[in-house]
Structure 1
Amino acid sequence: MDKVVESTVSQEQTTDYQRVARAIAYIQQHRFEQPNLDQLAAHVGLSPYHFQRLFVRWAGVTPKRFISFLTVEHAKSLLRQGDSLMNASLTVGLSGTSRLHDQFITLEGMTPGEYKRLGADLTIRYGFHACQFGEVLILKTQRGICGVRFVEPGLAAKEQALMMVRAEWPLSEFEYDPEATQEVMTQLFPGAEAHAPLQLLLRGTQFQIKVWQALLSIPEGSVSSYQAIARSIGQEKASRPVGSAIGANPVALLIPCHRVLRGTGELGGYRWGVARKMALLGWEASRGARMQDVS
Protein backbone atom coordinates (compact mmCIF):
# COMPACT_ATOMS: atom_id res chain seq x y z
CA MET A 1 0.00 0.00 0.00
CA ASP A 2 1.40 3.38 -1.01
CA LYS A 3 1.81 5.93 1.72
CA VAL A 4 -0.24 9.10 1.35
CA VAL A 5 0.16 11.96 3.82
CA GLU A 6 -0.94 15.55 3.94
CA SER A 7 1.72 18.06 2.94
CA THR A 8 2.89 20.48 5.60
CA VAL A 9 5.29 22.58 3.53
CA SER A 10 4.08 25.96 2.19
CA GLN A 11 0.43 25.30 3.07
CA GLU A 12 -0.18 29.06 3.15
CA GLN A 13 0.91 29.25 -0.49
CA THR A 14 -1.42 26.40 -1.39
CA THR A 15 -4.36 28.03 0.39
CA ASP A 16 -3.63 31.31 -1.40
CA TYR A 17 -3.53 29.48 -4.70
CA GLN A 18 -6.89 27.77 -4.12
CA ARG A 19 -8.53 31.18 -3.71
CA VAL A 20 -6.62 32.71 -6.59
CA ALA A 21 -7.52 29.72 -8.78
CA ARG A 22 -11.20 30.34 -8.15
CA ALA A 23 -10.74 33.94 -9.22
CA ILE A 24 -8.78 32.90 -12.32
CA ALA A 25 -11.46 30.39 -13.29
CA TYR A 26 -13.99 33.23 -12.98
CA ILE A 27 -11.79 35.41 -15.18
CA GLN A 28 -11.73 32.64 -17.80
CA GLN A 29 -15.51 32.25 -17.74
CA HIS A 30 -16.11 36.01 -17.96
CA ARG A 31 -13.03 37.09 -19.91
CA PHE A 32 -15.01 39.06 -22.49
CA GLU A 33 -16.61 41.10 -19.71
CA GLN A 34 -13.25 42.01 -18.09
CA PRO A 35 -14.41 41.47 -14.47
CA ASN A 36 -13.37 44.17 -12.02
CA LEU A 37 -11.87 43.90 -8.54
CA ASP A 38 -15.23 44.00 -6.76
CA GLN A 39 -16.61 41.13 -8.85
CA LEU A 40 -13.53 38.95 -8.34
CA ALA A 41 -13.46 39.62 -4.62
CA ALA A 42 -17.15 38.78 -4.24
CA HIS A 43 -16.66 35.53 -6.14
CA VAL A 44 -14.07 34.26 -3.65
CA GLY A 45 -15.89 35.66 -0.59
CA LEU A 46 -13.42 38.38 0.37
CA SER A 47 -13.58 42.15 0.56
CA PRO A 48 -11.92 43.98 -2.34
CA TYR A 49 -9.18 45.17 0.03
CA HIS A 50 -8.33 41.70 1.33
CA PHE A 51 -8.59 40.07 -2.09
CA GLN A 52 -6.21 42.62 -3.62
CA ARG A 53 -3.70 42.02 -0.81
CA LEU A 54 -4.01 38.26 -1.27
CA PHE A 55 -3.56 38.49 -5.02
CA VAL A 56 -0.56 40.81 -4.86
CA ARG A 57 1.04 38.54 -2.26
CA TRP A 58 0.62 35.58 -4.61
CA ALA A 59 1.30 37.13 -8.03
CA GLY A 60 3.33 40.23 -7.19
CA VAL A 61 1.00 42.39 -9.29
CA THR A 62 -2.59 43.60 -9.04
CA PRO A 63 -5.45 41.53 -10.48
CA LYS A 64 -6.02 44.19 -13.14
CA ARG A 65 -2.45 43.95 -14.41
CA PHE A 66 -2.53 40.16 -14.19
CA ILE A 67 -5.64 40.06 -16.38
CA SER A 68 -3.85 42.18 -18.98
CA PHE A 69 -1.23 39.43 -19.32
CA LEU A 70 -3.97 36.93 -20.16
CA THR A 71 -5.59 38.77 -23.05
CA VAL A 72 -5.52 37.27 -26.53
CA GLU A 73 -3.72 40.31 -27.92
CA HIS A 74 -0.93 39.90 -25.39
CA ALA A 75 -0.72 36.21 -26.26
CA LYS A 76 -0.55 36.98 -29.98
CA SER A 77 2.34 39.37 -29.37
CA LEU A 78 4.21 36.70 -27.43
CA LEU A 79 3.48 34.13 -30.11
CA ARG A 80 4.97 36.38 -32.79
CA GLN A 81 8.10 36.88 -30.70
CA GLY A 82 8.37 33.20 -29.84
CA ASP A 83 7.89 32.13 -33.42
CA SER A 84 10.58 34.55 -34.55
CA LEU A 85 13.01 33.26 -31.94
CA MET A 86 12.32 29.66 -32.88
CA ASN A 87 12.74 30.33 -36.60
CA ALA A 88 15.95 32.27 -36.04
CA SER A 89 17.46 29.51 -33.92
CA LEU A 90 16.59 26.85 -36.46
CA THR A 91 18.08 28.96 -39.27
CA VAL A 92 21.48 28.97 -37.58
CA GLY A 93 21.31 25.24 -36.89
CA LEU A 94 20.34 25.24 -33.23
CA SER A 95 17.74 22.88 -31.83
CA GLY A 96 15.87 25.67 -30.10
CA THR A 97 16.15 29.05 -28.47
CA SER A 98 18.65 29.50 -25.67
CA ARG A 99 17.18 29.17 -22.21
CA LEU A 100 18.20 28.19 -18.72
CA HIS A 101 16.58 24.77 -19.04
CA ASP A 102 18.91 23.88 -21.91
CA GLN A 103 21.81 24.26 -19.52
CA PHE A 104 20.57 22.30 -16.55
CA ILE A 105 17.90 19.83 -17.73
CA THR A 106 18.72 16.75 -19.75
CA LEU A 107 16.04 14.41 -20.99
CA GLU A 108 16.54 10.68 -21.40
CA GLY A 109 13.90 8.55 -23.07
CA MET A 110 13.61 4.88 -22.24
CA THR A 111 14.82 2.40 -24.85
CA PRO A 112 12.13 0.31 -26.59
CA GLY A 113 13.11 -2.64 -24.42
CA GLU A 114 12.84 -0.62 -21.22
CA TYR A 115 9.52 0.79 -22.41
CA LYS A 116 8.12 -2.73 -22.82
CA ARG A 117 9.33 -3.79 -19.37
CA LEU A 118 7.00 -1.16 -17.83
CA GLY A 119 9.48 0.14 -15.28
CA ALA A 120 10.88 -3.18 -14.09
CA ASP A 121 14.05 -2.84 -11.97
CA LEU A 122 13.21 0.78 -11.13
CA THR A 123 12.57 2.14 -7.66
CA ILE A 124 10.42 5.25 -7.74
CA ARG A 125 10.66 7.56 -4.74
CA TYR A 126 7.76 9.93 -4.33
CA GLY A 127 6.51 12.76 -2.20
CA PHE A 128 3.72 15.32 -2.09
CA HIS A 129 4.67 18.98 -1.77
CA ALA A 130 2.72 22.22 -1.46
CA CYS A 131 3.60 25.17 -3.67
CA GLN A 132 2.23 28.42 -5.05
CA PHE A 133 0.25 26.54 -7.74
CA GLY A 134 -1.31 23.90 -5.52
CA GLU A 135 0.12 20.54 -4.52
CA VAL A 136 2.45 18.44 -6.63
CA LEU A 137 3.39 14.79 -6.66
CA ILE A 138 7.08 14.35 -7.51
CA LEU A 139 8.41 11.01 -8.73
CA LYS A 140 12.13 10.34 -8.82
CA THR A 141 14.23 7.31 -9.82
CA GLN A 142 17.94 6.64 -9.53
CA ARG A 143 18.20 7.62 -13.20
CA GLY A 144 16.19 10.83 -13.02
CA ILE A 145 12.85 12.51 -12.39
CA CYS A 146 10.02 10.58 -14.03
CA GLY A 147 7.05 12.66 -12.96
CA VAL A 148 5.85 16.00 -11.63
CA ARG A 149 2.07 16.13 -11.42
CA PHE A 150 -0.35 18.60 -9.92
CA VAL A 151 -2.75 17.00 -7.45
CA GLU A 152 -6.03 18.39 -6.18
CA PRO A 153 -6.42 18.84 -2.39
CA GLY A 154 -7.44 15.94 -0.18
CA LEU A 155 -6.31 12.41 0.55
CA ALA A 156 -8.69 10.84 -1.97
CA ALA A 157 -7.17 12.86 -4.82
CA LYS A 158 -3.67 11.87 -3.74
CA GLU A 159 -4.59 8.21 -3.55
CA GLN A 160 -6.11 8.45 -7.04
CA ALA A 161 -2.94 10.12 -8.37
CA LEU A 162 -0.79 7.33 -6.97
CA MET A 163 -3.07 4.67 -8.45
CA MET A 164 -2.68 6.26 -11.88
CA VAL A 165 1.10 6.41 -11.54
CA ARG A 166 1.31 2.79 -10.44
CA ALA A 167 -0.76 1.81 -13.49
CA GLU A 168 1.80 3.53 -15.72
CA TRP A 169 4.77 1.93 -13.92
CA PRO A 170 3.26 -1.42 -12.86
CA LEU A 171 6.53 -3.30 -12.37
CA SER A 172 8.35 -0.59 -10.41
CA GLU A 173 8.85 -0.45 -6.65
CA PHE A 174 7.44 2.64 -4.95
CA GLU A 175 8.92 4.22 -1.82
CA TYR A 176 7.57 7.23 0.05
CA ASP A 177 10.61 9.52 0.40
CA PRO A 178 9.66 13.23 0.58
CA GLU A 179 13.20 14.19 1.56
CA ALA A 180 14.52 12.88 -1.77
CA THR A 181 11.80 14.65 -3.76
CA GLN A 182 12.20 17.87 -1.77
CA GLU A 183 15.54 18.33 -3.53
CA VAL A 184 13.63 18.78 -6.77
CA MET A 185 11.42 21.52 -5.31
CA THR A 186 14.27 24.03 -5.07
CA GLN A 187 14.65 23.94 -8.87
CA LEU A 188 11.14 23.19 -9.95
CA PHE A 189 9.35 26.48 -10.32
CA PRO A 190 9.65 29.28 -12.87
CA GLY A 191 12.60 31.48 -12.04
CA ALA A 192 14.21 28.98 -9.69
CA GLU A 193 17.99 29.06 -9.60
CA ALA A 194 19.72 26.00 -11.02
CA HIS A 195 21.93 24.44 -8.37
CA ALA A 196 22.77 21.18 -10.12
CA PRO A 197 21.85 19.56 -13.45
CA LEU A 198 18.51 17.78 -13.46
CA GLN A 199 18.02 14.51 -15.29
CA LEU A 200 14.61 13.43 -16.57
CA LEU A 201 13.76 9.80 -17.29
CA LEU A 202 10.64 9.65 -19.45
CA ARG A 203 8.59 6.77 -20.74
CA GLY A 204 7.13 7.77 -24.10
CA THR A 205 7.15 7.10 -27.82
CA GLN A 206 9.92 8.55 -29.98
CA PHE A 207 7.48 11.17 -31.27
CA GLN A 208 6.45 12.19 -27.74
CA ILE A 209 10.08 12.47 -26.65
CA LYS A 210 10.83 14.76 -29.61
CA VAL A 211 7.90 17.00 -28.70
CA TRP A 212 8.88 17.14 -25.03
CA GLN A 213 12.45 18.04 -26.00
CA ALA A 214 11.11 20.86 -28.18
CA LEU A 215 9.14 22.26 -25.26
CA LEU A 216 12.38 22.80 -23.37
CA SER A 217 13.27 25.52 -25.89
CA ILE A 218 10.43 27.84 -24.82
CA PRO A 219 11.83 30.50 -22.47
CA GLU A 220 10.03 31.60 -19.33
CA GLY A 221 7.74 34.51 -20.12
CA SER A 222 7.36 33.37 -23.73
CA VAL A 223 4.85 31.12 -25.46
CA SER A 224 4.73 29.01 -28.59
CA SER A 225 2.02 27.40 -30.68
CA TYR A 226 1.22 23.83 -31.59
CA GLN A 227 2.10 24.66 -35.21
CA ALA A 228 5.47 26.13 -34.26
CA ILE A 229 6.35 23.07 -32.18
CA ALA A 230 5.34 20.82 -35.08
CA ARG A 231 7.60 22.78 -37.44
CA SER A 232 10.49 22.66 -35.00
CA ILE A 233 10.51 18.84 -35.04
CA GLY A 234 10.12 18.63 -38.80
CA GLN A 235 6.46 17.56 -38.68
CA GLU A 236 4.74 20.71 -39.94
CA LYS A 237 1.38 18.99 -40.56
CA ALA A 238 1.30 17.17 -37.23
CA SER A 239 -0.25 19.87 -35.02
CA ARG A 240 -2.91 17.51 -33.68
CA PRO A 241 -0.48 14.69 -32.74
CA VAL A 242 1.78 17.36 -31.23
CA GLY A 243 -1.14 18.51 -29.11
CA SER A 244 -1.73 14.95 -27.91
CA ALA A 245 1.94 14.54 -27.01
CA ILE A 246 1.92 17.84 -25.12
CA GLY A 247 -1.17 16.71 -23.22
CA ALA A 248 0.64 13.52 -22.20
CA ASN A 249 3.64 15.36 -20.74
CA PRO A 250 4.31 13.67 -17.37
CA VAL A 251 6.60 16.40 -15.98
CA ALA A 252 4.84 19.68 -15.24
CA LEU A 253 6.84 22.93 -15.16
CA LEU A 254 10.25 21.42 -15.93
CA ILE A 255 8.86 20.56 -19.37
CA PRO A 256 6.77 23.72 -19.83
CA CYS A 257 3.76 22.47 -21.78
CA HIS A 258 1.72 25.31 -20.24
CA ARG A 259 3.57 27.70 -22.59
CA VAL A 260 1.93 26.29 -25.73
CA LEU A 261 -1.16 28.11 -27.05
CA ARG A 262 -3.34 27.88 -30.10
CA GLY A 263 -2.16 29.92 -33.06
CA THR A 264 -5.08 32.31 -32.46
CA GLY A 265 -3.72 33.22 -29.03
CA GLU A 266 -6.41 31.23 -27.19
CA LEU A 267 -5.23 29.12 -24.28
CA GLY A 268 -6.21 25.67 -25.49
CA GLY A 269 -6.33 22.83 -22.96
CA TYR A 270 -4.03 21.80 -20.14
CA ARG A 271 -3.63 18.45 -18.46
CA TRP A 272 -3.94 20.00 -15.01
CA GLY A 273 -6.72 22.47 -15.73
CA VAL A 274 -7.08 25.68 -17.73
CA ALA A 275 -7.26 27.83 -14.58
CA ARG A 276 -3.85 26.51 -13.52
CA LYS A 277 -2.46 27.14 -17.02
CA MET A 278 -3.67 30.74 -16.77
CA ALA A 279 -2.13 31.02 -13.32
CA LEU A 280 1.24 29.77 -14.55
CA LEU A 281 1.30 32.02 -17.62
CA GLY A 282 0.13 35.08 -15.71
CA TRP A 283 2.57 34.44 -12.86
CA GLU A 284 5.50 34.10 -15.27
CA ALA A 285 4.46 37.23 -17.15
CA SER A 286 4.08 39.20 -13.94
CA ARG A 287 7.47 37.98 -12.74
CA GLY A 288 9.02 39.19 -16.00
CA ALA A 289 7.29 42.54 -15.63
CA ARG A 290 8.59 42.93 -12.08
CA MET A 291 12.14 42.20 -13.24
CA GLN A 292 11.79 44.83 -15.98
CA ASP A 293 10.51 47.36 -13.45
CA VAL A 294 13.53 46.71 -11.22
CA SER A 295 15.99 47.02 -14.09
Structure 2
Amino acid sequence: MTHTALSLDDRCKAYNRMADALVYLGENWKGRPGLNEIAAQFGLSPAHFQKEFTRWAGISPKQYMSSLAHAEAGDLLRQGASVLEASYEVEVSGPSRLHDLFIAHEALTPGEAGSGGRDVTLTIGKGPTPFGTGVLLFSDRGLSGLGFIDDQPETAGRAGEHVGRPEQAAFADLASRYPNADIRRDDTKAADFADRIFAPGARVPLALYGTPFRRQIWRALLEIPVGETRTYGEVARAAGREGAARATGTAVGANPISWFIPCHRALASDGRLHNYHWGVRRKRAMLAMEAGYREAEAPS
Protein backbone atom coordinates (compact mmCIF):
# COMPACT_ATOMS: atom_id res chain seq x y z
CA MET A 1 0.00 0.00 0.00
CA THR A 2 1.35 3.40 -0.94
CA HIS A 3 -0.02 6.81 -0.13
CA THR A 4 1.26 10.27 0.66
CA ALA A 5 1.08 10.88 4.38
CA LEU A 6 -0.44 14.03 5.79
CA SER A 7 1.88 16.48 7.48
CA LEU A 8 1.92 16.27 11.27
CA ASP A 9 -0.07 19.52 11.54
CA ASP A 10 -2.70 18.22 9.11
CA ARG A 11 -2.94 14.88 10.94
CA CYS A 12 -3.44 16.78 14.18
CA LYS A 13 -6.23 18.89 12.65
CA ALA A 14 -7.88 15.82 11.12
CA TYR A 15 -7.91 13.87 14.38
CA ASN A 16 -11.37 14.79 15.68
CA ARG A 17 -13.13 13.96 12.40
CA MET A 18 -11.15 10.74 11.99
CA ALA A 19 -11.89 9.71 15.58
CA ASP A 20 -15.59 10.24 14.91
CA ALA A 21 -15.25 8.19 11.71
CA LEU A 22 -13.68 5.33 13.67
CA VAL A 23 -16.62 5.37 16.09
CA TYR A 24 -19.06 5.25 13.17
CA LEU A 25 -17.23 2.40 11.47
CA GLY A 26 -16.95 0.54 14.76
CA GLU A 27 -20.71 0.73 15.26
CA ASN A 28 -21.71 -0.04 11.66
CA TRP A 29 -19.05 -2.30 10.11
CA LYS A 30 -21.22 -5.42 10.19
CA GLY A 31 -23.61 -3.71 7.78
CA ARG A 32 -20.68 -3.17 5.36
CA PRO A 33 -21.54 0.49 4.57
CA GLY A 34 -20.17 1.69 1.27
CA LEU A 35 -17.82 4.62 0.81
CA ASN A 36 -20.63 6.93 -0.37
CA GLU A 37 -22.69 6.18 2.73
CA ILE A 38 -19.76 6.68 5.10
CA ALA A 39 -18.60 9.92 3.50
CA ALA A 40 -22.13 11.36 3.65
CA GLN A 41 -22.10 10.96 7.43
CA PHE A 42 -19.28 13.53 7.58
CA GLY A 43 -20.38 15.91 4.84
CA LEU A 44 -17.51 15.01 2.53
CA SER A 45 -17.29 13.69 -0.99
CA PRO A 46 -16.36 9.99 -1.18
CA ALA A 47 -13.01 10.83 -2.78
CA HIS A 48 -12.17 13.43 -0.11
CA PHE A 49 -13.12 11.13 2.76
CA GLN A 50 -11.23 8.17 1.29
CA LYS A 51 -8.10 10.27 0.80
CA GLU A 52 -8.18 11.90 4.24
CA PHE A 53 -8.92 8.68 6.11
CA THR A 54 -6.27 6.68 4.26
CA ARG A 55 -3.60 9.34 4.68
CA TRP A 56 -4.39 9.69 8.38
CA ALA A 57 -4.80 6.03 9.35
CA GLY A 58 -2.56 4.35 6.80
CA ILE A 59 -5.38 2.09 5.61
CA SER A 60 -8.63 2.63 3.75
CA PRO A 61 -12.03 2.60 5.47
CA LYS A 62 -12.68 -0.80 3.87
CA GLN A 63 -9.41 -2.19 5.23
CA TYR A 64 -10.23 -0.81 8.68
CA MET A 65 -13.60 -2.56 8.68
CA SER A 66 -11.78 -5.74 7.71
CA SER A 67 -9.50 -5.32 10.74
CA LEU A 68 -12.60 -5.01 12.93
CA ALA A 69 -13.80 -8.30 11.49
CA HIS A 70 -10.50 -9.87 12.53
CA ALA A 71 -10.89 -8.49 16.03
CA GLU A 72 -14.41 -9.89 16.21
CA ALA A 73 -13.05 -13.28 15.19
CA GLY A 74 -10.50 -13.07 17.98
CA ASP A 75 -13.25 -12.43 20.51
CA LEU A 76 -15.21 -15.41 19.21
CA LEU A 77 -12.16 -17.66 19.45
CA ARG A 78 -11.58 -16.61 23.06
CA GLN A 79 -15.19 -17.60 23.72
CA GLY A 80 -14.51 -21.11 22.42
CA ALA A 81 -15.49 -21.02 18.75
CA SER A 82 -13.37 -22.99 16.30
CA VAL A 83 -11.26 -21.14 13.73
CA LEU A 84 -13.56 -22.26 10.93
CA GLU A 85 -16.69 -21.19 12.80
CA ALA A 86 -15.14 -17.80 13.53
CA SER A 87 -14.25 -17.36 9.87
CA TYR A 88 -17.84 -17.90 8.77
CA GLU A 89 -19.25 -15.74 11.56
CA VAL A 90 -17.34 -12.64 10.43
CA GLU A 91 -17.68 -13.44 6.72
CA VAL A 92 -14.01 -13.70 5.79
CA SER A 93 -12.81 -15.92 3.00
CA GLY A 94 -11.06 -18.56 5.07
CA PRO A 95 -9.14 -19.36 8.27
CA SER A 96 -5.83 -17.99 6.98
CA ARG A 97 -7.32 -14.49 6.90
CA LEU A 98 -7.51 -14.50 10.69
CA HIS A 99 -3.73 -14.19 10.91
CA ASP A 100 -3.09 -11.50 8.31
CA LEU A 101 -2.68 -8.58 10.70
CA PHE A 102 -0.51 -10.11 13.41
CA ILE A 103 2.84 -8.64 12.34
CA ALA A 104 5.33 -7.94 15.12
CA HIS A 105 7.47 -4.82 15.19
CA GLU A 106 10.66 -4.19 17.08
CA ALA A 107 9.97 -2.78 20.55
CA LEU A 108 11.53 0.43 21.83
CA THR A 109 14.07 0.36 24.65
CA PRO A 110 13.46 2.74 27.58
CA GLY A 111 16.24 5.07 28.74
CA GLU A 112 18.10 4.71 32.00
CA ALA A 113 15.64 5.22 34.86
CA GLY A 114 15.81 7.74 37.66
CA SER A 115 13.53 8.28 40.64
CA GLY A 116 10.65 10.75 40.45
CA GLY A 117 12.66 13.12 38.26
CA ARG A 118 14.91 14.22 41.10
CA ASP A 119 17.79 16.48 39.95
CA VAL A 120 16.41 16.49 36.42
CA THR A 121 15.43 19.53 34.34
CA LEU A 122 12.49 18.88 32.02
CA THR A 123 10.87 20.97 29.30
CA ILE A 124 7.09 20.92 28.89
CA GLY A 125 5.03 22.33 26.04
CA LYS A 126 2.34 21.59 23.49
CA GLY A 127 2.70 20.46 19.92
CA PRO A 128 0.87 18.63 17.12
CA THR A 129 0.42 14.84 17.16
CA PRO A 130 -1.61 12.47 14.99
CA PHE A 131 -4.07 12.24 17.91
CA GLY A 132 -4.75 15.93 18.43
CA THR A 133 -2.73 18.55 20.28
CA GLY A 134 -0.27 16.88 22.63
CA VAL A 135 1.56 17.92 25.77
CA LEU A 136 5.18 16.80 25.65
CA LEU A 137 7.57 16.53 28.58
CA PHE A 138 11.20 15.85 27.72
CA SER A 139 14.85 16.32 28.63
CA ASP A 140 18.13 16.08 26.77
CA ARG A 141 17.96 12.33 27.43
CA GLY A 142 14.61 11.79 25.78
CA LEU A 143 10.83 11.84 26.08
CA SER A 144 9.50 11.59 29.63
CA GLY A 145 5.83 12.32 29.10
CA LEU A 146 3.19 12.57 26.38
CA GLY A 147 -0.44 13.44 27.01
CA PHE A 148 -3.22 15.16 25.09
CA ILE A 149 -5.34 18.30 25.20
CA ASP A 150 -9.07 18.16 24.50
CA ASP A 151 -10.97 21.41 24.17
CA GLN A 152 -14.25 19.57 24.71
CA PRO A 153 -15.21 16.32 26.43
CA GLU A 154 -15.53 13.28 24.22
CA THR A 155 -18.98 12.26 23.03
CA ALA A 156 -21.30 11.60 25.94
CA GLY A 157 -23.47 8.51 25.94
CA ARG A 158 -20.80 5.96 25.06
CA ALA A 159 -19.52 4.09 28.09
CA GLY A 160 -16.08 5.22 29.15
CA GLU A 161 -15.82 7.96 26.51
CA HIS A 162 -16.85 11.10 28.39
CA VAL A 163 -13.24 12.19 28.84
CA GLY A 164 -11.57 15.48 28.02
CA ARG A 165 -8.71 17.41 29.53
CA PRO A 166 -8.38 21.11 28.72
CA GLU A 167 -4.90 22.55 28.36
CA GLN A 168 -4.29 23.51 31.98
CA ALA A 169 -5.45 20.12 33.28
CA ALA A 170 -3.36 18.22 30.73
CA PHE A 171 -0.23 20.16 31.66
CA ALA A 172 -0.87 19.62 35.38
CA ASP A 173 -1.50 15.92 34.78
CA LEU A 174 1.91 15.32 33.21
CA ALA A 175 3.84 17.63 35.54
CA SER A 176 2.39 15.83 38.57
CA ARG A 177 4.07 12.60 37.42
CA TYR A 178 7.48 14.14 38.16
CA PRO A 179 7.11 16.11 41.41
CA ASN A 180 10.86 16.27 42.03
CA ALA A 181 11.83 17.65 38.61
CA ASP A 182 12.55 21.23 37.58
CA ILE A 183 9.98 21.75 34.79
CA ARG A 184 10.14 24.69 32.39
CA ARG A 185 7.62 25.50 29.65
CA ASP A 186 8.67 26.06 26.03
CA ASP A 187 6.02 25.46 23.34
CA THR A 188 8.43 26.13 20.46
CA LYS A 189 10.85 23.44 21.62
CA ALA A 190 7.94 21.09 22.26
CA ALA A 191 6.56 21.53 18.72
CA ASP A 192 10.03 20.93 17.26
CA PHE A 193 10.42 17.84 19.43
CA ALA A 194 7.01 16.56 18.24
CA ASP A 195 8.12 16.95 14.62
CA ARG A 196 11.19 14.81 15.33
CA ILE A 197 9.54 11.98 17.25
CA PHE A 198 6.55 11.62 14.93
CA ALA A 199 8.66 11.68 11.77
CA PRO A 200 8.48 8.47 9.70
CA GLY A 201 11.08 5.99 10.92
CA ALA A 202 12.05 8.06 13.96
CA ARG A 203 13.69 6.28 16.89
CA VAL A 204 12.37 7.88 20.04
CA PRO A 205 14.64 8.00 23.11
CA LEU A 206 12.63 7.47 26.29
CA ALA A 207 13.75 8.77 29.69
CA LEU A 208 11.63 7.08 32.34
CA TYR A 209 11.44 8.10 35.98
CA GLY A 210 9.32 5.83 38.15
CA THR A 211 9.31 3.08 40.76
CA PRO A 212 11.03 -0.21 39.84
CA PHE A 213 7.65 -2.01 39.68
CA ARG A 214 6.16 0.54 37.30
CA ARG A 215 9.23 0.46 35.07
CA GLN A 216 8.90 -3.35 34.88
CA ILE A 217 5.29 -3.00 33.74
CA TRP A 218 6.13 -0.27 31.23
CA ARG A 219 8.88 -2.45 29.75
CA ALA A 220 6.37 -5.30 29.44
CA LEU A 221 4.06 -2.97 27.51
CA LEU A 222 6.91 -2.25 25.12
CA GLU A 223 7.15 -5.97 24.37
CA ILE A 224 3.55 -6.19 23.07
CA PRO A 225 3.86 -6.30 19.27
CA VAL A 226 2.03 -3.81 17.10
CA GLY A 227 -1.37 -5.23 16.26
CA GLU A 228 -1.72 -7.27 19.43
CA THR A 229 -3.27 -6.60 22.83
CA ARG A 230 -2.80 -8.10 26.29
CA THR A 231 -4.91 -8.21 29.42
CA TYR A 232 -3.53 -6.72 32.60
CA GLY A 233 -2.98 -10.24 33.91
CA GLU A 234 -0.93 -11.16 30.84
CA VAL A 235 1.14 -7.99 31.19
CA ALA A 236 1.76 -8.87 34.85
CA ARG A 237 2.99 -12.35 33.90
CA ALA A 238 5.25 -10.95 31.19
CA ALA A 239 6.78 -8.63 33.79
CA GLY A 240 7.35 -11.52 36.20
CA ARG A 241 4.57 -10.33 38.51
CA GLU A 242 2.12 -13.22 38.37
CA GLY A 243 -1.06 -12.46 40.31
CA ALA A 244 -0.54 -8.68 40.31
CA ALA A 245 -3.17 -7.81 37.71
CA ARG A 246 -4.77 -5.08 39.82
CA ALA A 247 -1.45 -3.39 40.61
CA THR A 248 -0.49 -3.80 36.96
CA GLY A 249 -3.64 -1.97 35.90
CA THR A 250 -2.66 0.90 38.18
CA ALA A 251 0.86 0.96 36.72
CA VAL A 252 -0.50 0.90 33.17
CA GLY A 253 -2.75 3.84 34.02
CA ALA A 254 0.25 5.69 35.43
CA ASN A 255 2.24 5.30 32.21
CA PRO A 256 3.48 8.84 31.45
CA ILE A 257 4.34 8.31 27.78
CA SER A 258 1.24 7.61 25.72
CA TRP A 259 1.52 5.94 22.30
CA PHE A 260 5.27 5.24 22.47
CA ILE A 261 4.84 3.10 25.60
CA PRO A 262 1.74 1.37 24.27
CA CYS A 263 -0.64 1.23 27.22
CA HIS A 264 -3.41 1.43 24.62
CA ARG A 265 -2.62 -2.25 23.87
CA ALA A 266 -3.51 -3.27 27.43
CA LEU A 267 -7.10 -4.36 28.05
CA ALA A 268 -9.13 -5.39 31.05
CA SER A 269 -10.07 -9.06 31.32
CA ASP A 270 -13.29 -8.57 29.33
CA GLY A 271 -11.30 -7.26 26.36
CA ARG A 272 -13.23 -4.01 26.00
CA LEU A 273 -11.75 -0.60 25.17
CA HIS A 274 -12.32 1.21 28.44
CA ASN A 275 -10.38 2.87 31.24
CA TYR A 276 -7.89 4.63 28.96
CA HIS A 277 -6.43 7.68 30.69
CA TRP A 278 -6.71 9.95 27.63
CA GLY A 279 -10.09 8.69 26.43
CA VAL A 280 -11.47 5.59 24.76
CA ARG A 281 -11.92 7.43 21.47
CA ARG A 282 -8.20 8.16 21.36
CA LYS A 283 -7.34 4.57 22.28
CA ARG A 284 -9.47 3.38 19.36
CA ALA A 285 -7.68 5.84 17.06
CA MET A 286 -4.27 4.54 18.16
CA LEU A 287 -5.23 0.93 17.54
CA ALA A 288 -6.67 1.87 14.15
CA MET A 289 -3.47 3.61 13.13
CA GLU A 290 -1.50 0.53 14.15
CA ALA A 291 -3.79 -1.52 11.94
CA GLY A 292 -2.49 0.67 9.12
CA TYR A 293 1.09 -0.12 10.05
CA ARG A 294 0.30 -3.85 10.07
CA GLU A 295 -1.36 -3.62 6.68
CA ALA A 296 1.63 -1.77 5.24
CA GLU A 297 4.03 -4.40 6.58
CA ALA A 298 1.95 -7.45 5.62
CA PRO A 299 3.31 -9.57 2.75
CA SER A 300 1.58 -8.83 -0.53
Identify the TM-score tier after normalising by the shorter chain.
0.7 to 0.9
Q: Residues 262-288 of structure 1: CA distance to partner in whole angstroms, max 9, x if unpaired?
A: 455433432222222222112212222
Query: Structure 2 matches for 1:17-32, cutoff 5 A?
Result: 17-29=15-27
Instruction: Give 2:16's aligned amino acid.
Output: Q
Q: Residues 45-65 of structure 1: CA distance to partner in whole angstroms, max 9, x if unpaired?
A: 324443223212222322122
Aligned to 2:285: 279
Query: Structure 2 matches for 1:116-135, cutoff 5 A?
Result: 119=117, 121-135=119-133
2:171 to 148, 162, 171: 162
Cα distance change on mapping 1:188 and 1:60 into 2, 3 Å: closer
Give 3-state SS (helix, strand or coil) of 2:166's partner: helix
Unaligned runs of 5+ in 1: 1-8, 80-97
Aligned to 1:5: none
How high is the sequence identity, in percent, across the aligned residues?
Answer: 33
Equivalences, count: 255
Give 3-state SS (helix, strand or coil) of 1:19's partner: helix
Instruction: Give 1:109's aligned amino acid.
Output: A
The answer to which of 61-70 and 162-171 deviates more is 162-171
Structure-1 separation of matches of 2:298 and 2:135:
33
Structure-1 separation of matches of 2:45 and 2:37:
10
Q: Residues 26-62 of structure 1: CA distance to partner in whole angstroms, max 9, x if unpaired?
A: 3345566665545533432324443223212222322
Cα distance change on mapping 1:242 and 1:20 into 2, 3 Å: same
Structure-2 separation of matches of 1:233 and 1:30:
37
The structure richer in helix per residue is 1
TM-score by length of structure 1 reads 0.72
- The question of whether the paired residues in 2 share the 8 Å contact of 1:76 and 1:264 is answered with no
Structure-2 separation of matches of 1:264 and 1:167:
30
Aligned to 1:199: 206
TM-score by length of structure 2 reads 0.71
Unaligned runs of 5+ in 2: 1-6, 79-103, 153-164
Instruction: Give 2:248's aligned amino acid.
Output: V
Structure-2 separation of matches of 1:110 and 1:135:
28
- The question of whether the paired residues in 1 share the 8 Å contact of 2:111 and 2:141 is answered with no
Structural RMSD (CA): 3.2
Give 3-state SS (helix, strand or coil) of 1:12's partner: helix
Deviation at 1:74, TM superposition (A): 5.0
Instruction: Give 1:61's aligned amino acid.
Output: I
- The question of whether the paired residues in 1 share the 8 Å contact of 2:126 and 2:133 is answered with yes
Give 3-state SS (helix, strand or coil) of 1:51's partner: helix
